[in-house]
Structure 1
């Protein structure tokens, strides 16, 4: 804020004070009050303190009431050695001081502190894939993040959470593109980097949408904001609970289909008219359920199908193609995949060929002929050096609509 300037000639202009980074301010105070002076000369001690300050993280992200530090924060030297020699009370005084300084900086009231880490591809100590994308590497520094385990009964693969687990867990939230999203950071990942892709999804559309990997509602909520009804699939119960809470926070009606309800007919499941219906099951059943709904005259026009899974969502592409078979106007498939920067063009061509082959199969079997086209490749963010998280937008139209639009175009020329 600029200082007030008076017309009095005797008043001197005050220099604008530079705001100190809140983590730096907290670290400076903690070093001065907690670390004991060494027996070495002052120059060595000053150098050590300077190294601590310079290597402390400067950035953070607020998901109230959580402050999330970047990957690797306080893990490198000299912080690793210093914190290892401190007792828990001393470490907690640093973490609480950081939270206090961030709150004072007007970034929002924060009470919990953690360090972000990459989502492991496999379960801890196992070769099994981490299909739920559980953030088991998250480093919890300060605050009660809820129980480390769940009290639910043993499931086929791992314990399923109960209502008690959900109530005792620590939940956070944020707002992107005017949409509230909610999740439990101990159990569910949150991808901040796909905010641009979420905004792009908001660009248009109505009627029905399908999300094959719903997560906490990243793209589900973008479709819902457009007034569409959304069918979605997710196998992580923590993500489903986050999606349910987020939907209610945004004032959308939502139904979670799980347990015995999974045996009900699609007609029964859709009868109450919720805007968002999420199936807590593998998306391997999605095509079958959509086919049942369409056979009963429900969910006819599916305009968008989202496949937001990395490193590739290819296992659901054929199902996405099939479930848009009755859409009268254009249908759009948004297919996520990690692709080497030099391979993006060739991958686009191979996807085009894949869908053209399926279109030819439909034509030869007497079904309505449709025309697929990879209209656009969105490079969302870098996933690793030389690798991009890409979204291939496949537009599917009927051959009749293509002919009609061509005729109109020719007549107007």
Structure 2
């Protein structure tokens, strides 16, 4: 007798997108009037499908709810109807997470390269220029494009005000086991840097690790620290870190993040502290020392310390960090040890990556010749971190600097 054939298992239907579920629920509950009753399927087709969570905030991708159909519908709704939509989206996304409850919703519209002059009208809309003149460069990387949909993100920004850290809205995440926090109305966060952070954490392992000494008991320098993107990777490796950052909100995020990871931190920011000798500033033994000032002071400050054992210098500004390269070279060549690594961040067209690598080597070899040839340099590796635009990569060039008699 043949055994009975087993019935094929039914495949579970894929879970519905929570934003789609939220729209359907909202559409039935919002008591839309006849002029407001757009086709539900069309609304769903023009709604975002993805999101990112930074507790307790949900961040939607650029362009969300900004297509023609939504631009026509949203102004026709009452404030209560619009708010019900945002609340429903937060509720459905919260259901898909384990125990998390999301309370704030915003759209990430990117970080502009330039800032417009502030007016009472655009400040009322939550835009922020931090004292900018018309079309001034956004050197602080202020997230002025953030479009707030729901939740209290803290006091509306205004020009030339003292940062109110305690009343701001803060979010957080973990990447590679490292805690980071920031105020999204004031500070950017680049999720795509996770790959480069992980690479730094593994830098002293792997096939090329033979020439890379242990990072413990050495220093790292981060010339564009932000909220601690790469500073924290160095700290986790056991290094002490000297770092520089111009944005006070980023410095506060770095301070809070360091504390959240259990690392001691000193913020050097007021006129008195900035005037103290470097020996005194580093004497407390803190894992991280961050200077709220222009990094053009960095090389001179490090020179005051006579010689440090510096393993890494991070030049992490896009689209190019070349304004800091000469200073980074000076720090590396005053190094107590025979070698150092410079991590040079650049946006480069895919067809130009090899040429840029050669240009970088020639630039630093020129500096070496000018310094009587005691040191030499070569790009050991080019890391393609992420695409920045079509055909353009965010690259990191690892420049290895050592005694000229040591390199082969």
Computed over aligned residues only, the root mean square deviation of the Cα atoms, in angstroms, reads 2.1
Q: What is aligned with 1:120?
A: 112
Compute the displacement of 1:111 (Å). Answer: 0.6
Compute the displacement of 1:18 (Å). Answer: 2.7
Q: What is aligned with 2:47?
A: 56
Q: SS of the counterpart of 2:185?
A: coil
Q: What is aligned with 1:88?
A: 79
Q: SS of the counterpart of 2:184?
A: coil
Q: Which runs of 5+ in 2 are unaligned?
A: 118-133, 205-213
Compute the displacement of 1:330 (Å). Answer: 2.4
Query: Number of matched residues?
Result: 374
Q: What is aligned with 1:6?
A: none
Q: 2:389 aligns with which of 376, 384, 387?
A: 384
Q: What is aligned with 1:175?
A: 174
Compute the displacement of 1:39 (Å). Answer: 7.8
Q: What is aligned with 2:32?
A: 36
Q: Measure, in 2, the Cα distance between the counterparts of 1:159 and 1:167.
A: 14
Residue 27 (str. 1) matches residue 40 (str. 2):
no
Mapping for residues 365-376 of structure 1, pairs under 5 Å: 369-376=374-381
1:301 and 1:326 in contact (8 A); partners too:
no
Q: 1:303 aligns with which of 294, 297, 311?
A: 311
Q: Measure, in 1, the Cα distance between the counterparts of 2:40 and 2:249.
A: 42
Compute the displacement of 1:129 (Å). Answer: 0.6
TM-score (norm 1): 0.86
Cα deviation, 1:324-364, whole Å, max 9, x if unaligned, reads 1133232100011111111111111111110000000111x
Q: Measure, in 2, the Cα distance between the counterparts of 1:110 and 1:97.
A: 11
Mapping for residues 309-328 of structure 1, pairs under 5 Å: 309-327=317-335, 328=337
Q: Which moved more, 1:67-76 or 1:101-110?
A: 101-110
Residue 129 (str. 1) matches residue 137 (str. 2):
yes
Mapping for residues 253-272 of structure 1, pairs under 5 Å: 253-259=264-270, 260-272=272-284
Cα deviation, 1:275-298, whole Å, max 9, x if unaligned, reads 00000000010011011112xx5x
Q: Measure, in 1, the Cα distance between the counterparts of 2:193 and 2:13.
A: 35
Q: SS of the counterpart of 1:186?
A: coil
Q: SS of the counterpart of 2:338?
A: coil
Q: Which runs of 5+ in 1 are unaligned?
A: 1-8, 407-413
Q: 2:161 aligns with which of 159, 164, 171?
A: 159
Residue 214 (str. 1) matches residue 225 (str. 2):
yes
